[in-house]
Structure 1
Amino acid sequence: MKTEVVRAGRGNATVLLQAPASALRHGEIVAFPTETVYGLGANALIETAVQQIFALKGRPQDNPLIVHLADKEKLDQLVKNIPPEFYRLYEDFCPGPLTFVLEKTDLIPDQVSAGLNTVAVRFPDQKICQLLLRLADVPVVAPSANISGRPSATRASHVLDDFKDRIPFIIDDGATELGVESTVIDLTGSMPRILRPGVITADEIRAVSGIEVLSYKDGLEEGDLKRPASPGLKYRHYAPDARVIQVCSKDGKSLEAAVLSELDQLSDQKAGLFINEKSWDKLRLQTVIAEREIIKYLFAAENPDEAAAHELYAALRALDAAGVDVILAEAIPGAEAYMNRLDKACASENMEKEEVKKILFVCTGNTCRSPMAAALFNSYAEEKQQASKIKWKALSAGLHTMDGLAASQSAVSVLCESGIDISGHSSVQLTEELLAEADIVATMTRSQRDILRGFLPALESKIKTLSEWADERGRESAGDVPDPYAQPEAVYRETRNHLQALIESLWQQINSQPGD
């Protein structure tokens, strides 16, 4: 197969897009620009076409896709029980970079929704994209046009790098306007909630539409436990081959000083920089910069949040192509969409390089059992880690809590007796992203386990009670860890001892599994 690159700006777009639109309609794959990133498109109603998307990208089958439509005219064929908030948000933000998670009809194949009863839908704000969708006249699934796990494509050349002679058409309309994927908002719960950050923020939705919405950092509500996972949330993303390290001004140290400090530690590696133009103007005068082969990719210092987001994926690809070993990328606190993608780019490489796995302990409030378990596990792992092929790190979260609560004083006291300090613990509300990124999820009770399995059925195999993980045969009859909340300190001491015994057994199980 030879890939035809259709240059949208070189002639009558309606004429130029006839062949790609027909190809889409009949089940072929077409890459096209949106205002966010380039998409790899297929007819959402043809299962074989949808399957090609997964195969081409190497995308996991349980990662749902986003359906793209020109407008809402035929939306009721694809989704049902549309809440009133949708119409307000549609009027205020569409067409645009906002994706809606809604209940799907039977017309949507299960492959599109990863077997969930919901589907993600958006209405792109890009003229060539809109024209293509109207000409094709079918709903189009279109994940980012890149090999799964690689930086998303923001230029047609990026798509060509990944899919040359593997798809029939790539439509080239230059660099995308925004450079990061759309905001995803779930409208199936008791309150709208952002699942993936993008250019449109929770604050903007509140201000423009007057709709109260939870941000992606907020946790699960008891009435929203059936919310689906967001497209683009469940797997590590956006990672180049090179290692990515964040740099920023911190503790009185300037960004430039932070860059120089990192470069000093990386003296034997070919380094790339992704920073703003003003900082580069200061850095390039430094002797160490002049003496080393530093590959730079700069973004505008004015409106850095937008500029960095717009160029991030292009920078990661360009620096990778230049053969750098490590990329120092400027961190911009407060730039939600940019930092979300940069965090994932860093986490993917670093976790693979260091072979660190995560175990997430879950209880109700994240003030007693789960923080005790995480602290006990990390303390035990520190002793045993050297003899283990795999490094483990424990985290904890609460099923029904709020961020920022201190650990129970009795929990602090009984762990202090074991030489472990959790006085600085701050509770964390459980989120879908924490669940998706954990290698093992250990709940304190069977009821908590069942709630989470119902919430994310695709992750069922890695969600068990702590007792089940610790049991040699993983028996579901293994008991719960009772909640010591509001009990005498002696009960907390019993809980500590119970947890310690389970963790020692757990350690044996997770470090004796074949292939680990």
Structure 2
Amino acid sequence: MNDLDHAIALLRQGELVAIPTETVYGLAADAANPEAVAKIFALKGRPSDHPLIVHIAGTAQLDDWAIDIPADARRLAEAFWPGPLTLILKRQPHVSDSVTGGQGTVGLRAPAHPLAHALLQQFGGGLAAPSANRFGHVSPTTAQHVRDEFGAECPLVLDGGASPVGVESTIVSLVDETPKLLRPGGIAREAIEAVLGRTLEHHQSNKTAKIRASGLLDSHYAPRTPLVLGTLPALLDDATRRMAAGERVLILHRTPIDALPAGAHHQQLAADAAHFARELYALLRRHDHQHDVLLMEAPPQTPEWLAVNDRLKRAATARLE
């Protein structure tokens, strides 16, 4: 039995399988099996009212999970699926509360990773699959990250290489007349607006959006080691102060540094947003527990950095100006 057949057998038995997607690795269970979905929450330590995204093979399965689907949703699915876009729609009555967090909506996405796509086509149904990590921790972008996180607690990890996007999907709500950007991600806001022909309302919390969706909590995507964002001059001053107090400091910067504080460890990061996003979670995982604090130069506040800035805002413990 090959890994794909093994994965399908486990999923049909109500077990969990970690799967690669183009965004991050997901912890998958049969979305039509509430007992299987409950295992996701138990393993992740995820609050039971926090909804999951259902992964499907493509647009042909939209009507299996959603009702009253607006034309805008079908246009976006045709434009960006398979790909890193999640649509929030009104749910079919049969969709389990365990997937939706008890809401009247469901999040749907068709991943572009060839291994995940093949799995979904052969499985035939939907897979609930949040990121394959402990709740609130840094998302995994390799199979080894998942093994490091769960060990033998996850029955199977399908290895599809490193996730090429590196941050989670963009989430757009289409449950009322006004399309809403709930989470920036792998599809740029401007690209979505170009297809819709209108502006997205951007909501950065569950409270303002009045809908619960993945990744909208104030603290999320966080390493165990404190992460501090700021301007490079402020971080260099902070590094000097911390090192004088005996702390182990790592400076993560995009701008070249002429003079480092004596003895400081540092790493220069990618200058472009796509490369930065692809490496971000692996970087945070690699340096977690190796230092007392991670000091990261904040990226620019420009559209191409929207998803990265969203993740860093939720991962950071402080910001220095």
TM-score, normalised to structure 1, is 0.58
User: Percentage identity across aligned positions?
Assistant: 38
Task: Summarize deviations over 1:451-486 as a string: whole Å, max 9, x none.
Answer: xxxxxxxxxxxxxxxxxxxxxxxxxxxxxxxxxxxx
For 2:207 and 2:219, the matched residues in 1 are separated by 21
Q: Is 1:162 the equivalent of 2:149?
A: yes
What corresponds to 1:32 in structure 2? 19
Question: Is residue 133–residue 149 contact of structure 2 (8 Å, CA) maintained in 1?
Answer: yes
Question: Which runs of structure 2 are paired with 1:220-235 in the superposition (5 Å)?
Answer: 227-234=210-217
Question: Which runs of structure 2 are paired with 1:236-275 in the superposition (5 Å)?
Answer: 236-248=219-231, 255=232, 257-267=233-243, 268-275=246-253
Question: Which runs of structure 2 are paired with 1:50-61 in the superposition (5 Å)?
Answer: 50-61=37-48
Q: Give the one of 292, 300, 304 matched to 2:263.
A: 292
- SS at 1:169 equivalent: coil
For 1:339 and 1:170, the matched residues in 2 are separated by 29
Cα offset for 1:295? 5.2
Cα offset for 1:307? 2.0
Question: Is residue 204–residue 216 contact of structure 2 (8 Å, CA) maintained in 1?
Answer: no
Q: Is 1:326 the equivalent of 2:293?
A: yes
Question: Is residue 205–residue 217 contact of structure 2 (8 Å, CA) maintained in 1?
Answer: no
What corresponds to 1:493 in structure 2? none
- Mark the structure with the bigger radius of gyration: 1
For 2:193 and 2:59, the matched residues in 1 are separated by 22
Task: Summarize deviations over 1:341-384 as a string: whole Å, max 9, x none.
Answer: 101111xx459xxxxxxxxxxxxxxxxxxxxxxxxxxxxxxxxx
Cα offset for 1:90? 1.1
For 2:81 and 2:253, the matched residues in 1 are separated by 32
Question: Is residue 165–residue 277 contact of structure 2 (8 Å, CA) maintained in 1?
Answer: yes
Cα offset for 1:136? 1.7
- SS at 1:172 equivalent: coil
- The alpha-carbon distance between structure 1 residues 29 and 219, as it changes in their structure 2 partners (threshold 3 A), is closer
Cα offset for 1:299? 2.9
- The alpha-carbon distance between structure 1 residues 287 and 275, as it changes in their structure 2 partners (threshold 3 A), is closer
Q: Give the one of 332, 339, 343 matched to 2:309.
A: 339
Question: Which runs of structure 2 are paired with 1:395-414 in the superposition (5 Å)?
Answer: none
For 1:212 and 1:287, the matched residues in 2 are separated by 44
Q: Give the one of 279, 296, 308 matched to 1:311.
A: 279
> Aligned AA for 1:286?
A
Q: Is 1:191 the equivalent of 2:161?
A: no
TM-score, normalised to structure 2, is 0.91
What corresponds to 1:507 in structure 2? none
For 2:192 and 2:156, the matched residues in 1 are separated by 36
Query: Could you tell which deviates more after superposition, 35-44 or 205-214?
Result: 205-214
> Aligned AA for 1:292?
G
Q: Is 1:23 the equivalent of 2:10?
A: yes
Question: Is residue 185–residue 192 contact of structure 1 (8 Å, CA) maintained in 2?
Answer: yes
Output the aligned Cα RMSD: 2.2
What 5-or-longer segments of structure 1 have no aligned partner?
A: 1-13, 249-254, 352-516
- SS at 1:101 equivalent: strand
Task: Summarize deviations over 1:161-199 as a string: whole Å, max 9, x none.
Answer: 111100110011111011111110000022111111113
> Aligned AA for 1:234?
L
What corresponds to 2:86 in structure 1? 99
For 1:208 and 1:102, the matched residues in 2 are separated by 18
> Aligned AA for 1:343?
K
Between the two proteins, the alignment pairs up a number of residues equal to 314
Cα offset for 1:270? 0.6
For 2:6 and 2:44, the matched residues in 1 are separated by 23
- SS at 2:153 equivalent: coil
For 1:337 and 1:151, the matched residues in 2 are separated by 15
Q: Which runs of 4+ in 1 moved over 4 A?
A: 217-221
- SS at 2:314 equivalent: helix
> Aligned AA for 1:270?
R
